[in-house]
Amino acid sequence: MSKHLLDKPLSVLSLGVATLDAGASAGGATLAHLDWQPAGDGDPELSWQLASLIGDPDDPDCAGSRVDRANAEAVSRVIAAEPVWVDVALHASEVWPDMGRTLLHAGPPIAWRDMCGPMRGAVVGAALYEGWADTPDEAERLADSGAIRFAPCHEWGAVGPMAGIISPSMPLFVVENRAAGNRAYAPMMESGGAKTLRFGAYAPEVLAGLRWLETVMAPTLKAVVTASPDGWPLKPVMAQALHMGDDVHNRNTAASLALLRWVAQGLVNTDIARSEAVAALRVMRADDMFFLSLSMAACKATMDAAHGVPHSSLVTAMARNGVNVGVRVSGLGEQWFTGPADIPVGLYLPGFSEADANPDIGDSAITETAGLGAFAMAAAPAMVQFVGGTPQDALRYSRDMATISVARNPGFTLPALDFIGAPVGIDVRRVLDDGMRPVINTATAHKQPGMGIIGAGIVQAPLRCFTTAVAALAEQCAQNDRNESAGSAGRR
């Protein structure tokens, strides 16, 4: 550095580590520090792996260009999806006749002994509900004995809110993706707030509520939806809801009204007993979140159609079991990439604090995976009264998530951002490249079973899900290259 330069007033732009800033400041320099770190979470090997997956317009055969093309295909399936509510399965065992003593749960795989409080409570409740046990102690012993099989909802084509427990007797919404022909399933939202199985409660009134869903609500809704020859197309409803202040994850006020309107109209046309119709409408009327089950099933049916595109780095599932967050990637088969679940940052109901909060839980982040929820939060400024922050934060999440998304969904537009499409299709490469983790808005559960919702907030999926996914994809691509080389060598 020339003496000449140092004679003049110095302006320093400092990137990354701040070690040298103090010296520059002490020397009288004007200092601007940019918070930056190299892509790849500071891991040189991972950085190389990430670099090996970046597309090159001049080299369509390189691994990254193949990933780009695969992602374009995968996200086109997301955008083309046509989820339609077509049926209600009166019992999950109709959908999966071999279910036996299986309980499905939210998030990536987890063993009974590792489950968090709310999920353990929900398992106990489900065992009581199914008559597998007569007391909570007996239910716990049954689970201890290994007599209950556990599997993630996601691996069975389903999604469940919070603990996400689905047992054989429970009714399910059935959503078909007309564009791809696949189906997805979600349990019905119980009313009753805290005292619900999804928060781990299993008191008699909780089980009575489940029984009512099974015996009254489910047949009622089944009669309505099956009386409609084309079912109920969900995409227009969700698109309209985005223009009415919903994000269809933690705000479903408009979509639930639309659902009620459709069901009310249908009910009058069916032969459902008036008392049951009244009861069903009353419960739906009281629950602004009732649509969430359909939103989740629609997103699951959408994202499953995008799964299995070779080489694609698109996230097709992002789910939390209350201990870990798991991510699945279109081109990486059935594997889960996991990291520890964080506690949401947001608002608490009076009397509760972060000390009471369970880490992030539930399959409802399938909405963010499909480009809704926090990704579309610019549509839902009023939601910040529930999850905290400001309307500007809501706009920012939608803007930021475009950084890590492959496309914008022309079917889901955001009025407050000049009707631009919501960002859709998380690319694990972009997450790692920018160090920007997917944002999820979420209800916060008490860590003790059955205490229910204690608040709501914002959480981000852990980076580890994405570092391990990138490493796996890079390894897969490298393996492919080696195989191809070997193949062409063999042919030589």
**Which residues touch 154 (CB under 8 Å, ≥6 apart)?**
107, 108, 300, 317, 319, 328, 363
> Closest separation between CB of residue 280 and its own copies, Å?
10
- Single-letter amino acid, residue 271: D
Q: Is 258 in the site for its own copies (CB under 8 A)?
A: yes
Q: Are residues 334 and 326 in contact, defined by beta-carbon separation less than 8 angstroms?
A: no
Nearer to its own copies, 340 or 415 (CB): 415
CB-count exposure of residue 358 (10 Å: 0-12, 13-18, 19+): buried
Stretch that binds its own copies, among 19-27, 236-244, 439-447, 470-478 (CB under 8 A): 236-244
Element (H, E) at 364: none
Q: 66 phi and psi, to 5 degrees?
A: -65, -40
Interface region with its own copies, contact rule CB under 8 A, candidates 98-106, 190-198, 242-250, 304-312: 242-250
Q: Please say whether the beta carbons of 469 and 428 come within 8 A.
A: yes
User: Distance (Å, rounded) from C-alpha 105 to C-alpha 31?
Assistant: 51
**Measured from the CB atom, is 285 or 482 closer to its own copies?**
285
With contact defined as beta carbons under 8 Å apart, do 287 and 213 qualify?
no
If binding is defined by CB under 8 A, does position 240 make contact with its own copies? yes
Smallest distance from the beta carbon of 288 to its own copies, in angstroms?
10
Q: Which is nearer to its own copies, 93 or 253 (CB)?
A: 253
Supply 258's token pair.
Answer: 């639309």
- Binding range to its own copies, per CB under 8 A, among 27-35, 138-146, 257-265, 430-438: 257-265
Q: Which is nearer to its own copies, 7 or 418 (CB)?
A: 418
342 close to 359: Cβ distance less than 8 angstroms:
yes
By rule CB under 8 A, what count of residues binds its own copies?
33
Chain centroid to Cα 39, Å, comes to: 25
Q: What's the min distance (Å) between Cβ of 240 and its own copies? A: 8
* Maximum Cα interatomic distance, the chain, rounded to a whole number of Å: 92
Q: Which stretch binds its own copies (CB under 8 A): 26-34, 201-209, 226-234, 376-384?
A: 376-384
- 390 touches its own copies (CB under 8 A): yes
Which pair of tokens denotes residue 290?
């009732």
The Cα 311–Cα 175 span in angstroms is: 28
Residue 133 amino acid letter: A
**Residue from 101, 149, 282, 482 in contact with its own copies (CB under 8 A):** 282
Q: Which tokens go with 277? A: 């119709």
Chosen residue from 38, 136, 231, 245 binding its own copies by CB under 8 A: 245
Query: Which residue's entry shows tokens 């499409």?
Result: 421
CA distance linking residue 59 with residue 62, whole number of Å: 6
Among 11, 30, 215, 385, which residue sits at the site for its own copies (rule: CB under 8 A)? 385
Minimum distance of its own copies from residue 408's CB (angstroms): 17
Nearer to its own copies, 228 or 335 (CB): 228
Binding of its own copies at residue 381 (CB under 8 A)? yes
Q: What is the CA radius of gyration of the chain?
A: 24
Name the DSSP letter for residue 16. S
For its own copies, give the closer residue by CB, 11 or 390. Answer: 390
Q: Which of 54, 90, 281, 343 binds its own copies (CB under 8 A)?
A: 281
User: Residue 231 CB: number of other CB atoms within 10 A?
Assistant: 17
Nearer to its own copies, 18 or 227 (CB): 227
Decide: is 382 part of the binding site for its own copies (CB under 8 A): yes
**Could you give the CA distance from residue 223 to residue 218 in angstroms, rounded to a whole number?**
9
Query: For its own copies, which is the closer residue by CB, 277 or 432?
Result: 277
Residues 391-430 that bind its own copies (CB under 8 A): 391, 415-419
In the complex, what is the shortest distance from the CB of residue 381 to its own copies, in angstroms, rounded to a whole number? Answer: 4
Nearer to its own copies, 173 or 290 (CB): 290
Find where tokens 């002490």 sit: 26
264 versus 463: smaller Cβ distance to its own copies: 264
Cα 472–477–479 angle (5° rounding)?
A: 95
The residue (of 15 and 278) whose beta carbon lies closer to its own copies is: 278
Ramachandran angles phi, psi of 88, nearest 5° = -120, 125
Q: How far is the CB of 42 from its own copies (least distance, A)?
A: 38
Near its own copies by CB under 8 A, which window of 83-91, 183-191, 352-360, 383-391?
Answer: 383-391
Contacts to its own copies from residues 260-279, by CB under 8 A: 260-261, 264-265, 267-269, 274, 277-278
Binding site for its own copies (CB under 8 A): 240, 243-246, 253-254, 257-258, 260-261, 264-265, 267-269, 274, 277-278, 281-282, 285, 381-382, 384-385, 390-391, 415-419
